[in-house]
Amino acid sequence: MSPIPANALAGIRILEPATMGAGPFGPTLLSEFGAEVIKIEIPGQGESVRRIPPLVNDQSLFWADLHRNKRAISLDLRKPEGQRLFKELTRQAEVVTENFRPGTFEKWGLGFETLRQINPGIVMVRVSGYGQDGPYSSQPGFDRIGLAFSGLMHLTGYPEGPPLRVGLAACDWLTGVFNAFGTMLALYWRDAQGGNQGQVVDAPLYESVLRIQESTIPQYDKLGIVRGRQGNRHPGCVPGDNYQTKDGRWVTIVVPNDNAFAGLAKAIGREGLLIDQRFQDAKGRRENQEELEGMVRHWVAGKASDEVVRIMNKAKVPACLLYTAVDIISDPHIAARNNLVQMEVPGARRLKTVGVIPKLSLTPGQIRWAGPTFAQHNQEIYQGMLGLTEKEMVRLKEEGTI
């Protein structure tokens, strides 16, 4: 049966007065499956993400990708008239997603208790550095702060080197996934399980990374061991590392079990390892890891990257070239899966970017347009949705409210 084009989240309207990455990314994910997202920016200057490089003809590629599928309006929530308009928008919304310092929306008269009086079904997603309560709740947060406070930065890097951040704003994007997940849980309980009312989704940066800390906390609690940096290695996969090839590229090889180890030993011409008692189980391989890693490193260094991956795959040993953007764009598997799509970006023509993930068989997501221009949808929202007159629009703009 062919997929039936449909929007799984049609009818869900999200107001997004959130900035940077962690707050907006959740609504972006939901917009790809049909949710209507209204991006709210401060009049005159817009969000700072619009100015984050790389830029093409003064257009931020970061903005174009992060805010795809959204409508954009300008509104100053610090002004009484701006607060009134936000409340009117809330009457017709399902969700509000914000990431200001806890207490800011309450100061503006827009806290959850106020909004739920206007719309009892409203779900309020609150992204912050440390959460809405607790002794650190008033402190500012950022991706790097979340990585540090969650313990992940301590674990990243080599044992003999300093702690490192990962190569992307992982805390921001993971928090965005959790805020989207929390949004759907709140809506499902409200609509499908008879809850009939909205609730707050409290999604701090550090908790999203804390949730993926594997066994680091139980390990310290029961064994008194503080897990440290391990570089590219993992105690459950030996040998396993990144190795440089003859042509200067890097490949990663992972040996997660006895079968994979047997395949590796035969592939690199070291069948004798299979009868060496030191390497008969995972424990023995961990105790003799340096010797094993040296053998693999030497073998890989004498071969081209494509040859290494081909031989490992034939031996049923997980292996992959370390991809760059060049490799991703040219890879036939990524093309076959339609992982990359084209977007029309004002001033930048067509932009290739990552498509919708995950893929649903009956209600697939879609990218309808790139991040909107500043205040692009003011007329559509204020006049079409709220019924304001042209005269009111002029006044609000002159006052700096929109």
**Residue 72, phi then psi, degrees to nearest 5:** -120, 130
Which residue carries 């309808």 as its tokens?
368
CA–CA dist 358, 13 (Å, integer) = 21
Is 241 noted as a catalytic residue in this protein? no
Q: Checking DSSP bridges between strand 250-254 and strand 240-244, what pairing results, if any? A: antiparallel
DSSP 45-77: T--GGGGPSPEETTEEHHHHHHTTT-EEEE--T
User: DSSP characters for 225-255?
Assistant: ------TT-BTTBSSEEEEE-TTS-EEEEE-
Which of 172, 191, 202, 276 does the annotation list as catalytic?
172
With contact defined as beta carbons under 8 Å apart, do 24 and 16 qualify? yes
* CA of residue 372 relative to chain centroid, distance: 20
Q: What is the largest CA-CA distance in the chain?
A: 87
Coarse DSSP helix, strand, coil percentages of the chain, rounded to the nearest 5 percent = 40, 15, 45
* Helix and strand totals (H; E) in the chain: 18, 13
- Specify the DSSP class assigned to residue 278: G
DSSP 8-state code for residue 193 = S
* Of 40, 45, 5, nearest in space to 19 by CA: 40
The Cα angle at residue 274 between residues 272 and 279, in degrees rounded to 5: 110
End-to-end CA distance of the chain: 48
Helix axes 170-191, 22-31, angle to 10 degrees: 50
Q: What are phi and psi of 133, to 5 degrees?
A: -140, -175
Four-residue CA torsion sign, 255, 261, 265, 267 = negative
Considering only CA atoms, give the Rg of the chain. 25
Residue 350, Cβ neighbours under 10 Å: how many?
A: 10
Catalytic (active-site) positions: 172
